[in-house]
Amino acid sequence: MEIDYLKIQRKIQKDVNKEVYCSKLGSSILLEGEVLSWNEVIKAGKIASKKGYKGVVNRIAVKGLDIPKIKSPSINDNLLDNKKVDVLIIGGGVIGSAIARELSKWQISILLVEKEEDLAMHTSSRNDGMVHPGIEAPIGSKKSIFNVRGNELYTKVTKELGVDFNRCGSTVLFEKNIIKIAKPLIMIRAKKVGVKDITFLSKEEVRKMEPNVLDNIAGAIHFGTTGVLSPYKMTYAYAENAAMNGVEFSFNTIVSSINREGNEISSVGTNRGTIYPKVVINAAGVYADKIAAMANDQFFTIHPRKGESLILDKKTGNLINGVVAMPSLSLSKGNTKGGGLIKTIEGNILVGPDAYEQPYREDYSTNKENIENVINKHLKIVPKISKGDVITYYSGIRAATYEEDFIIEQSEYVRNLIYAAGIQSPGLASAPAIAEEIEKITCNLLKNKIEIKPNINWNPIRLGIPEIRNLSFEERSKIIKKRPSYGEIICRCEEISKGEIEDALRSPIPVTTLDGIKKRVRPGAGRCQGGFCTPYLLEIIKNETGRNFNEITKNGEGSRILIEEVQQVYKEKPKNDSEVEINE
C-alpha cells in the first residue's frame, strides 16, 4: 500500500532538508529540490524507498556539485543508419552479453550496442568474480531468486563456453562460538531460498579446511556451492558464442535518443545512425535509468555505489583454498556482503571490496584511506599475508537502485521495452538466470509481432584459448608443433605465449586494446604489471590489426600508449619456450 507522498515529504524535510519535494510519477515517487551534500540525496532516497511505490526517481541536485556527463565516443557516422532489427540490446556487460547468447537460439536479428571500444569495460570487469551461493539476499527478492538459479546454471554454461569455473566454496569465519544459535536460522533460510551444501565447522574443522587463518576462530559456516570465475572472460565467452550464432555487435556506439509512437519505441538514435528495433532491452548498467528517461519511462534511479579491492601476488595464492570472510553477523542487511579474501580463478588472492556512496558513475580512482581500511579489515584473516604482497588495486561501481533489487521485467508503459537493470551484486552470479528470464519475456513480445522459430544451427559450444602455462609437457609440445608461436613466451610473469595473444586478437569479437588483451589472456596481469611485455604486445597488435603503434590504446579513446610513430618497439627479442623456465 502506498504511503501518501506528502507524508514522506514531511519526513524528508524534517530529517534531511527542507528543500526536498515529493510527487507521484506514474507508479513511482519523484524527489526534487536542492540539498547541500550527496549524503542528503542518498538519505532522502532511502526514506522514500519501499513505501509502496514501484520505485524512487531521485532528481535532487546538490548545490555546487558538478557531475560529469556520460563519456561519449567521438566517432559520428552512418554505419547503423536505417538499420532494422528484431532486438536491440543496449549494454555490453555480462548481462547484455548473456542475453545476446540466449536470444541467439532463435531465428531473429539481434544487435548489441556498446558505447566503449570493448565489452566488459565497467562493472563486469570491476568485480570480484565470485558466484555467490544465494543465501544473503532478502528472501523472495529477485536478487535471491536469480542468484540461486544462476549459481546452478553456471556448471553447464561454463562447460559449454570453455570458461574456467571453480566451485571452491566460501567459508564464513566467526571469532565467537555462535554456531548453535546460527545453525537453525541459517538452515531455515537456506531451505526457503533453495541453497544447498551448507556445513557447520568446528574450530578443528576450520583448521583442516583453511589452515592459515587466524588462531582465535571459534567456528565457521561453509557454503559449498560458492564458485569463482573471471567476470570479463565470462562476458567475452557469452558474446563470442552469440557472435558465432549470428548476433551483431557495434562498439563505440552510444544511444543518444529514443523515439516513441504511442506506447511503443519506434526508433533509437545513436552516434552511428538511427536504428529501428521491434524490441529494446535496457542492460545499460549504471546508465540504465538514463536510457529509461530517454524513453520517457523512468521509474527508478541508479545511485552509483563504489567499491575498492586489492590484488595480491600469486605467491600468496596457496594460503587459502577458496573464499574466506569474517563479515558482520547480519546476512541480509546493509549494502555489501562485507568482502573478504577470494582466491581467484587465476590463483591470485583478491581482497575486498568495500562499499560507499558517491555521485560519479565512471570514477574508477582509488582512495588511500579506503585502501588502508580494506587492508586493515581483511588481511588480518590470514596473518601470513602482508601489505608488501599487494601488486595493484582497483575500484568498481555498482548500479544500485533505492529498492536494492534487480529490475527484470517488461516496461509497465512502453510495450516493447524490457529492463535488465539495477544489477549490482550478486549480478554476476545471477547472469545466466537473468538472461534466461529476459529471453522468455522477449520471445513472448516478439510472438505478437513476427513468427519466431528456433535457430536450427545454434551451437552452444565455444572453445577457449589454450593456456600454455597450465598444460603438461606433452600437451604443450603438441600445440607448439602445430603453432610455433605458442612456444614464444611474451609475458614472463604470467607465462603467456604469443600464440595465446594472437588467438585473442583473432576472436569473433574484435579486440584492439592492451587492456582487452590483458583481460582475455592475462599478459601484463602479473607482478610487473606489463613493465616487461608491453612493447612486445604493441608489436603483436600492430602485426595482427594493421594499426600503427600510435593508434593502439590502453583501453579505448583517449588512452594512446605512444604519441608518435617509432621505428622499432623493442630491441631485445623475447626468448622462446626452450629458453624460458616454465613451472610445471
Q: Closest by alpha carbon to 416, among 583, 281, 568? A: 281
Contact of 339 with 377, CB cutoff 8 Å: yes
Our CA dihedral for 513, 514, 520, 526, rounded to 10 degrees, sits at: -170
Q: DSSP string spanning 230-293?
A: -HHHHHHHHHHHHHHTT-EEE-S--EEEEEEETTEEEEEEETTEEEEEEEEEE--GGGHHHHHH
How many other C-beta atoms lie within 10 A of the C-beta of residue 315?
Answer: 12
Contacts of 22 (CB under 8 A, 6+ apart): 5, 6, 8, 9, 12, 29, 30, 31, 32, 48
How many other C-beta atoms lie within 10 A of the C-beta of residue 179?
Answer: 16
Rounded-to-integer distance, Cα 2 and Cα 51, Å: 6
Rounded-to-integer distance, Cα 38 and Cα 361, Å: 13
Grid coordinates given for 438? 529476459
Q: Which residues are catalytic?
A: 132
3-state secondary structure of 389: helix
Contacts of 26 (CB under 8 A, 6+ apart): 54, 299, 412, 413
Rounded-to-integer distance, Cα 101 and Cα 239, Å: 7
Is residue 160 within a helix (H) or strand (E), and if so which, with residue range? helix 142-161
